[in-house]
Amino acid sequence: MPMQARSTDGGQTWDVESFPGPTPNGRGLSADEHVNPHLQVGPALVGAGGPQPCTVPTDFSHPDFALMCARSGLGAGTRSFFYCSHDRCRSWQGPFTLPDYGQQGIEARTDYLVDSAHTCTLFLTATKTNGKEGRVFCARSTDGGQHFDFLSFVGDEPEGFAIMPASLRLASDRILVARRLRTNEDDNNKDWIDLYASDDDAQSWHCIDERVAATGTGGNPPTLTRLDDGRLCLTYGYRDKKPGLRARLSNDEGQTWGNEITLRDDGGSRDLGYPRTVLLPDNTLLSAYYYNDSSDGERYIAATRWAP
């Protein structure tokens, strides 16, 4: 059963509740990777109980708005969908369909930029021409979510993969996107994060840093956060010796980055990470991620509050 957790005190305490919205034919969300076949959501994405087109415009600028993407799995045949909330996730509308954009599969994870009441840009991952994940692209709605039209690919098709984008708008036309990358060396994979920038509101992209950080064996997705003083924070899981959570700061909008900051290095195995980081009113940061205390222990959601 899908669950969600809410904190109203800056991450000090959390209330866990059942997901307050419909799921495709009663199945889970993004549930085809690590579950038994009879629990997979892919077969449930058809018919009346599956995702449907969004026909009522959403107010993306509502102060309590949230959007969440979900998907059936990875690779060719993967389908994606999304939900919207206007009450800080106390209820969800959806699931709503996303197109396949002429690709073999769309592997949506939640990353979006809101620009106006009816304009929102999604950053997604498509399959490569060989049917494997992945290649980052973006799509935009200008009609309140009723349609998300393809805009551009973020970078060329990689030999390995480029997946799990994290975006940040720096100015009216300038957007920064961090991507999770892996080489195509099957016996000696290298995993890192890079950065792409657009100066024409996501119409085209150029690489500004090929290796922002090494993320360890298996790799980890990034998240980008802007501080009140203009600095940027990049947070990511680290999956080699002393696995845990790390961060780096930039004073020049991502052109250069400071030394690595170790937030935690006590992970019981490298099966951890996937953080999201938000700026709190007192200018501290709250990073939430999944973690473990031992290689055979239960994985859980944790949060670290820290001062950059």
CA dihedral 24, 29, 33, 34 (to 10 degrees): -110
pLDDT bracket for residue 284 (50, 70, 90): very high
Cα angle 168, 55, 118; round to 5: 35
Q: What is the spatial distance between Cα 110 and Cα 177, in angstroms, rounded to a whole number? A: 13
pLDDT bracket for residue 131 (50, 70, 90): very high
Asked whether the beta carbons of 184 and 235 are under 8 A apart, the reply is no
Q: What is the reported pLDDT for 18?
A: 95
The secondary structure of the chain as a DSSP string is --EEEE-SSTTSS-EEEE--S--GGG--SS-SSSS-GGG-SGGGSSSTTS-B---S---TT-TT-EEEEEES-SSTT--EEEEEESSTTSS-EEEEE---TTSS-B---S-EEE-SSS-EEEEEEEE-TTSSEEEEEEEEESSTTS--EEEEESSPPPSSEEEEEEEEE-SSS-EEEEEEEE-S-TTS--EEEEEEEESSTTS--EEEEEEEEE--TT---EEEEE-TTS-EEEEEEE-SSS-EEEEEEESSTTSS----EEEE---SSS--EEEEEEE-TTS-EEEEEEE-SSTTSPPEEEEEEE--
- Which tens digits make up the pLDDT trace of 167-219? 999 988 999 999 999 987 665 679 999 999 999 999 999 999 989 999 999 89
Question: Of the ranges 99-103, 183-187, 291-295, which one carries the lowest mean pLDDT score?
Answer: 183-187
Q: What average pLDDT is seen over the chain?
A: 94
Taking alpha carbons only, the member of 216, 161, 162 closest to residue 190 is 216
- Token representation of residue 152: 């551009």
Owner of token pair 């995993």: 191
Report for 1-15, 185-199, 279-293: range of highest mean pLDDT: 279-293
- Which tens digits make up the pLDDT trace of 214-250? 999 989 999 999 999 999 999 999 999 999 999 999 9
Give the mean model confidence (pLDDT) for residues 285-298.
95
Q: Is the pLDDT of residue 96 over 90?
A: yes
Q: What is the reported pLDDT for 188?
A: 67
Question: Of the ranges 51-65, 175-189, 236-250, 280-294, which one carries the lowest mean pLDDT score?
Answer: 175-189
Q: What is the reported pLDDT for 37?
A: 83
Tell me the CA end-to-end span of the chain in Å, nearest whole number.
Answer: 36
